Amino acid sequence: MSVPPAQYHVLAGRTAGTKVTTYDRRIVGAHKALVNMARAGNHWARLCVGYINALSARKMPTVFVREGAKTPDNRQIYVLLVPGLRMEFSQHPSSDFVIHDLDLDDAYSELQKRLEKPGLFRVRKSSLGDYRSEWTDQIVKDKDRVVAISDYCRDPDEAAEICARAAKQPRDSYTIDRRGFDMHVTPGEGKVKGLKPIKSRDPERRQAFRESAFLLAKTMAESRKVEGVYWISQGGGSGVLSEALRILKAQKVNFKDTGHHVFFSGPTTSLVKAQNLAYDLNLKFERKAYSVGMLTSATDVVRAPWHRRKRDPENYSRLQMGADMCKGGPQLILGGVAIASSFGLGGVGGFIVGAGVAGFTALAALTKAVAPGTHDKIKGKL
């Protein structure tokens, strides 16, 4: 049933363009609070206000919008979701847009700071040599900015140390230590792993994963104007990044000509799936697209280079494909055999010595894969 125009309150487009209206006085108050939050510097509030103003120009960006229910008179309701904000709106037969609901949660950022919600942190190396994190709501808009996506964690400073090691794999240590990086964090214990992490049996983990991937997708879409961003997943962060890429693909977002790159450090979820999604979105790879961890699928280590060769034969040679197929998994397997040989299975003196040397080398490789923090401490003392 149509609402009489006299009951409408105009929120945007009063003097020009399509009107954005509401018939609920509470929404008028929420809109004023939203504008105040935007003026105070809240990134997502500014985005929402800009979106409302864009509706008056009949522009409807789809990155953060999904279809909801329908009105009693069969009009489609759209839902805009950003951190701490939810807006429902539809288009009136008169062509005006009508806002049906506008919920604000100004405490959301506080929950992010306490890592009770997924969030974005700025990381810098301190004068003491460790990495310190600070909550933020958007990435630094510098060319070639690095954004790390962490595994589940409860301490952002601890995640910063781990992510710094991951970020140094495709980028140089000088860049990470001097310029710092941004870090997307998912609250939780354990690791994101498996072919379908979004189907976790734990409702709390499943909700955190979905919310984190959606937030990362928004961050990535908003960052397309920043040239050359590097998106680097650490461990189970590959699952969050993969789901964010899936969301962006569904929304028809594209990164062509942005120079954005992706890298997977010790991925614990499907590397082939993530790599194909990245190609679908026109994201780029350096020569090395990933590193291998103990929980990385050995099958994917072999299949991913083959898929990459199919997608990009001009920039990825057969020689490179063959070299990548041989790295990681087989090395760790041979290392494990060498370790077993060097600790009790030697029968001939020369074999024991040789196996001992091989075992030490393999042990170093295994330690780096399983416990990179311990590996770095030992390496620093040698």
What are the chain's domains?
5-105 (3.30.2310), 110-327 (3.40.50), 331-381 (no CATH)
Supply 280's token pair: 């679908």
Write down the pLDDT at residue 358.
Answer: 43
Write down the pLDDT at residue 109.
Answer: 80
Write down the pLDDT at residue 157.
Answer: 93
Write down the pLDDT at residue 348.
Answer: 46
Write down the pLDDT at residue 203.
Answer: 59
SS (H, E, C) the chain: CCCCHHHCEEEECCCCCCCEEECCHHHHHHHHHHHHHHHCCCHHHHHHHHHHHHHHCCCCCCCCEEEEEECCCCCEEEEEEECCEEEEEEECCCCCEEEEEEEECCCHHHHHHCCCCCEEEEEEECCCCCEEEEEECCCCCCCCCEEEEEEEECCHHHHHHHHHHHHCCCCCHHHHHHHCEEEEEEECCCCCCCCCHHHCCCHHHHHHHHHHHHHHHHHHHHCCCCCCCEEEEECCHHHHHHHHHHHHHHCCCCCCCCCCEEEEECCCCCHHHHHHHHHHCCCECCCCCEECCCCCCHHHHHHHHHHHHHHCCCCCCHHHHHHHHCCCHHHHHHHHHHHHHHCCCCCCHHHHHHHHHHHHHHHHHHHHHHCHHHHHHHHHHC
Distance CA 371, CA 366 (A): 8
pLDDT in tens, the chain (382 residues): 444 444 678 888 788 778 888 888 889 998 998 899 888 878 778 888 888 888 887 776 666 777 788 888 888 888 887 777 888 888 887 778 889 888 887 778 888 888 888 999 999 999 999 999 999 988 999 999 999 999 988 899 999 999 999 999 999 999 999 999 999 999 887 667 555 555 555 556 777 888 899 899 989 998 999 999 999 999 999 999 999 999 999 888 999 999 999 999 999 999 999 999 999 999 999 999 999 988 888 889 999 999 999 999 999 999 999 998 887 655 455 444 444 444 444 444 444 434 444 444 444 544 555 455 554 554 444 4
Distance CA 142, CA 317 (A): 32
pTM, rounded to two decimals: 0.76
Supply 81's token pair: 């979701």
Sheet order of strands, 9-12 included: 9-12, 20-22, 97-104, 85-91, 76-82, 65-70
Contact 333, 292 (CB under 8 A): no
Return the residue matching tokens 């330690």.
367
Write down the pLDDT at residue 356.
Answer: 47
Write down the pLDDT at residue 339.
Answer: 42
Contact 84, 113 (CB under 8 A): no
